[in-house]
Chains A and B, each alone.
Chain A
Amino acid sequence: MSDAKVVLELKNVDKSFGPIDVLHEISLKVREGEVLCLLGDNGAGKSTLIKTLAGVHAPTRGEILVDGEPVSFAGPRDAQDRGIATVHQFGGTYPLMSVGRNFFMGVEPTKGFGPFKVFDRATANRIAVEEVQKMGITRIDDGDRLVGGLSGGERQSLAIARAVYFGARVLILDEPTAALGVKQAAHVLRIVNEAKKRGLAVIFITHQVMHAMTVGDHFAVLIRGAIAADFRKGEKTREEITDLMAGGETMADLEASIEGYMETHEGHPPKTEPAE
Chain B
Amino acid sequence: MSMQSEAGANSFSLGSLIRRPETGSFLGFIVVYLFFAILGGAVFVGAPGWSSWLNIAAEVGIIALPIGLLMIAGEFDLSVGAVVPAASVTTALLCGHFELPALVGILGGLGLGLLVGLANGLLVTRTAIPSLIVTIGVMFAVMGLTLGFAVLITGSTSLSYVPGPVTKALLGTFIGGMFNVSIFWWLGFIAVYFYFLHISPTGNWVFALGGDAESARNAGVPTAKLKISLFMMSGFGAAFVGIAQLMTYQSAQVAGGQPFIFNSIMCVVIGGVLLTGGAGSIVGIVLGTMTFAVVNQGIFFASLDPNIGSIIIGALLLAAVLSNDTFRTLATTYASKKK
Chain A positions within 8 Å of B, measured between CB atoms, are 76-77, 80, 86, 88, 90, 92-98, 101, 104-108, 110, 117-119, 121-122, 125, 139, 142, 144-146, 148-150
For window 287-325 of B, CB contacts with A under 8 Å fall at none
Contact of B204 among A86, A105, A122, A142 (CB under 8 A): A105
Separation of A105 and B200 alpha carbons in the complex (Å):
13
Tell me how far the C-beta of A90 lies from the nearest C-beta in chain B, rounded to whole angstroms.
8
Separation of A238 and B7 alpha carbons in the complex (Å):
50
Contacts of A104 in B (CB 8 A): 204
Assess whether B199 is in contact with A106, with CB atoms less than 8 Å apart. no
Nearest A-chain residue to B209, judged by Cβ: A94
B219 within 8 A of A: yes
Assess whether B335 is in contact with A94, with CB atoms less than 8 Å apart. no
Contacts of B208 in A (CB 8 A): 94, 97, 105-106
Assess whether A96 is in contact with B11, with CB atoms less than 8 Å apart. no
Tell me how far the C-beta of B113 lies from the nearest C-beta in chain A, rounded to whole angstroms.
23
Identify which of B32-40, B133-141, B326-334 touches chain A.
Answer: B326-334
Assess whether B334 is in contact with A149, with CB atoms less than 8 Å apart. yes
Separation of A149 and B330 alpha carbons in the complex (Å):
9
Assess whether A145 is in contact with B334, with CB atoms less than 8 Å apart. yes
B43 within 8 A of A: no
Identify which of B98-106, B116-124, B161-169, B210-218 touches chain A.
Answer: B210-218
Contacts of A80 in B (CB 8 A): 220
Tell me how far the C-beta of A276 lies from the nearest C-beta in chain B, rounded to whole angstroms.
27
Tell me how far the C-beta of A3 lies from the nearest C-beta in chain B, rounded to whole angstroms.
34
30 pairs, CB–CB < 8 Å, chain A vs chain B: A80-B220, A92-B218, A92-B219, A94-B208, A94-B211, A94-B216, A95-B211, A96-B211, A96-B328, A97-B204, A97-B208, A97-B278, A101-B207, A104-B204, A105-B204, A105-B208, A106-B205, A106-B208, A106-B220, A107-B219, A108-B201, A122-B6, A122-B7, A125-B7, A139-B339, A142-B335, A144-B7, A145-B335, A149-B331, A149-B335
B224 within 8 A of A: no
Assess whether A119 is in contact with B200, with CB atoms less than 8 Å apart. yes
The total of chain B residues at the interface (CB under 8 A) is: 34
Assess whether B204 is in contact with A101, with CB atoms less than 8 Å apart. yes
Assess whether B331 is in contact with A146, with CB atoms less than 8 Å apart. yes
Separation of A146 and B274 alpha carbons in the complex (Å):
15
Assess whether A110 is in contact with B201, with CB atoms less than 8 Å apart. yes
Assess whether A92 is in contact with B215, with CB atoms less than 8 Å apart. yes
Nearest A-chain residue to B212, judged by Cβ: A94
Nearest B-chain residue to A95, judged by Cβ: B211
Separation of A59 and B205 alpha carbons in the complex (Å):
32
Separation of A80 and B219 alpha carbons in the complex (Å):
10
**Contact digits for B87-131, partner A, Cβ 8 Å, 1 yes 0 no:** 000000000000000000000000000000000000000000000
Nearest B-chain residue to A118, judged by Cβ: B199
Assess whether A76 is in contact with B218, with CB atoms less than 8 Å apart. yes
Separation of A76 and B219 alpha carbons in the complex (Å):
10
Contacts of A144 in B (CB 8 A): 4, 7, 11
Nearest A-chain residue to B339, judged by Cβ: A139
Contacts of B201 in A (CB 8 A): 108, 110, 117-119
Tell me how far the C-beta of B105 lies from the nearest C-beta in chain A, rounded to whole angstroms.
29
Interface centre among B200, B218, B278, B328 (most CB of A within 10 A): B218
Nearest B-chain residue to A85, judged by Cβ: B218
Assess whether B203 is in contact with A146, with CB atoms less than 8 Å apart. no
Assess whether A119 is in contact with B199, with CB atoms less than 8 Å apart. yes
Separation of A96 and B276 alpha carbons in the complex (Å):
11
A94-B207, A94-B211 given as contacts; is B216 within 8 A of A106 (CB)? Answer: yes
A77-B220, A119-B203 given as contacts; is B1 within 8 A of A98 (CB)? Answer: yes
Nearest A-chain residue to B335, judged by Cβ: A145
Tell me how far the C-beta of B285 lies from the nearest C-beta in chain A, rounded to whole angstroms.
16
Assess whether B4 is in contact with A97, with CB atoms less than 8 Å apart. no
Nearest B-chain residue to A86, judged by Cβ: B218
B336 within 8 A of A: yes
Assess whether A96 is in contact with B278, with CB atoms less than 8 Å apart. yes
Contacts of B11 in A (CB 8 A): 142, 144
Assess whether A105 is in contact with B332, with CB atoms less than 8 Å apart. no
Contacts of A101 in B (CB 8 A): 204, 207
**Contact digits for B215-232, partner A, Cβ 8 Å, 1 yes 0 no:** 110111100000000000
Contacts of A125 in B (CB 8 A): 7
Tell me how far the C-beta of A234 lies from the nearest C-beta in chain B, rounded to whole angstroms.
36
Separation of A106 and B336 alpha carbons in the complex (Å):
27
Contacts of B214 in A (CB 8 A): 92
Contact of B220 among A107, A117, A118, A146 (CB under 8 A): A107
Separation of A121 and B1 alpha carbons in the complex (Å):
9
Contacts of A105 in B (CB 8 A): 204-205, 208, 215-216, 219, 221
Tell me how far the C-beta of A137 lies from the nearest C-beta in chain B, rounded to whole angstroms.
13
Separation of A142 and B201 alpha carbons in the complex (Å):
20
Contact of A97 among B207, B220, B328, B339 (CB under 8 A): B207
Assess whether B215 is in contact with A93, with CB atoms less than 8 Å apart. yes
Contacts of A97 in B (CB 8 A): 204, 207-208, 211, 278
B14 within 8 A of A: no
Assess whether B4 is in contact with A92, with CB atoms less than 8 Å apart. no
